[in-house]
Structure 1
Amino acid sequence: MTTPDTPMQVSPLRDASTVVLIRDGDGGLEVFLQHRVKQMAFAGGMTVFPGGGVDDRDRDAEIRWIGPDAAWWGERLSTDVETARALVAAAVRETFEECGVLLAGDAGAVVPDPSVYAAQRERLVAKELSFARFLSEVGLALRADLLAPMAHWITPRFEPRRYDTRFFLAALPAGQTADGATTEAAETGWQTAAEALDDWETGRRFLLPPTWTQLRDLARFDTVAEAVAAPRTVVPIEPSVADGRGILGIGFDGAESYLAALRDGRLDRLEER
């Protein structure tokens, strides 16, 4: 039986990557969002950016690569070279798997139409093919220069599934289209950051603190160029937790504004999701 003196069991962390995909739209800067199916074990029913956990095969040192090397990324992401390589590879792989956008090509160009690799995409999702093997087979290289470090969030200790997640910013490559062809999302689409935040404030959609925070960051900018050029220092953020209060006891910079949207009955709708 659990007592007040029983130490909380903290789940181990898993490395993960999330990509904040942006484009210039008619109404200003837009971001690609997924509304996850309720049945998902982590963040079910939430609105999120594409991303997921690092696969062991993402650590392949032979992966074809263009742009800042793994040592450069390790410095920006405060981790070792091997983990940095895996995080960047996972970011590009997950973006391709979840929305069909492929940040790969050669030194002079990006893949104009990733849909030609639909069969390989299915094999990647099924874990029948490693990302390094895919790139080698089709003669492409990962374009690390199309990513920018954005943030680093660690899942609070009270969650049964915990991730050590790096967020990357990336512009949608010219000619490519982000789709909703993933079983993890019930709905996908583009919104301005202001629209997505309004959906949160009114209870139409639900955002975890890292997603909410990155949207607030993007709401400062009018164009992709401005957002990508903005200087950012990536530091790890692990929200504090007040015992026995669940998400209402979460603490981080800006938590009061975030939690304000959960009051007045909105928390019940959050728990339903």
Structure 2
Amino acid sequence: MNETPKDKTALRDAASIILLRDGSAGPCVLMGQRGAEAAFMPNKFVFPGGAVDQSDGDVSFARPLRPDVGQALAGQSTRTPEALAAAALRELAEETGQVIGIPSEGAAPWPGFAGYGPDGDPLTFVFRAITPPGRPRRFDARFFLAPASAVVTELDDFSAAEDELSHLQWVPLAEARALDMPFITEVVLAEVAAIAEGRDVPGVPFFDNSGDTSVFRRL
């Protein structure tokens, strides 16, 4: 369960994960719909993800992040790269029942990870965005991309998912924008589509809304 700060508008670190899978209609991504009563982005289709918990920094990886991923995540962050990646993998397991791990005696204390340790090697850091001021919740969110082949659970079985996301489904990239989703999710999807097509993507895009004006740059 995510920790809730006293000031709900305080900027919190967060992580989301995009699973990419080949399908009959082309590349697909796993998405779900937030509840109508959610304080942040109600009814919107999003990727699995959420705020970083303090305990995420204590989890040991069975296989580490790639050096380039760790280096990119470390920039301008008070969290370790491992804590950010752990949050993404934990949220994936909690919200969808899907597990990215490898057999290990040092299992993570997360749903579905019995006998598995978190696997950081398949993760690619593809996007960072800070929620603009004035929203009911604000996050400094990192987005990871991982191939569905890295998942050790059944890709179409969401029976172990918690109830934070509904309508979990594999959405073809070509059709995803027809869903009701946040603007930033649309932008991330465009970046994922470019990667899926094999286009050269220079650096990690960063929408920085930490100040009075929005700044876009690549890390």
TM-score with structure 1 setting the length: 0.64
Pick from 71, 74, 84: which aligns with 1:75? 71
Could you give the per-residue CA deviations for residues 198-245 of structure 1, whole angstroms, max 9, x where no partner exists? Answer: x1xxxxx3221220001122334656xx48xx5451243135999xxx
Pick from 84, 91, 102: which aligns with 2:99? 102
**Unmatched segments (≥5 aa) in structure 1:** 1-8, 108-130, 200-204, 243-249, 254-273
Q: Does 1:87 align with 2:84?
A: yes
Deviation at 1:10, TM superposition (A): 9.9
Q: Distance in 1 between matches of 2:114 and 2:172?
A: 34
Distance change in 2, residues 1:145/1:12 (3 Å): same
Equivalent residue for 1:44?
42
TM-score with structure 2 setting the length: 0.78
Equivalent residue for 1:164?
140
Pick from 175, 190, 215: which aligns with 2:189? 215
Pick from 99, 108, 131: which aligns with 1:155? 131
Equivalent residue for 1:196?
176
Pick from 142, 156, 174: which aligns with 2:118? 142
Q: Distance in 1 between matches of 2:202 and 2:60?
A: 27
Distance change in 2, residues 1:192/1:221 (3 Å): farther
Could you give the per-residue CA deviations for residues 127-165 of structure 1, whole angstroms, max 9, x where no partner exists? Answer: xxxx84459x83422110111001000000111210010
- More helix as a share of residues: 1
Q: Please identify the structure whose Cα radius of gyration is greater.
A: 1
Match of 1:146, SS state, is: coil
Q: Does 1:57 align with 2:55?
A: yes
Identity %: 31
Equivalent residue for 2:203?
233
Q: Distance in 1 between matches of 2:28 and 2:132?
A: 29
Distance change in 2, residues 1:65/1:167 (3 Å): same
Equivalent residue for 2:3?
none
CA RMSD between the two structures: 3.2
Name the count of aligned residue pairs: 202
Distance change in 2, residues 1:138/1:232 (3 Å): farther
- More strand as a share of residues: 2
**Unmatched segments (≥5 aa) in structure 2:** 1-6
Amino acid at match of 1:42: F
Amino acid at match of 1:19: I
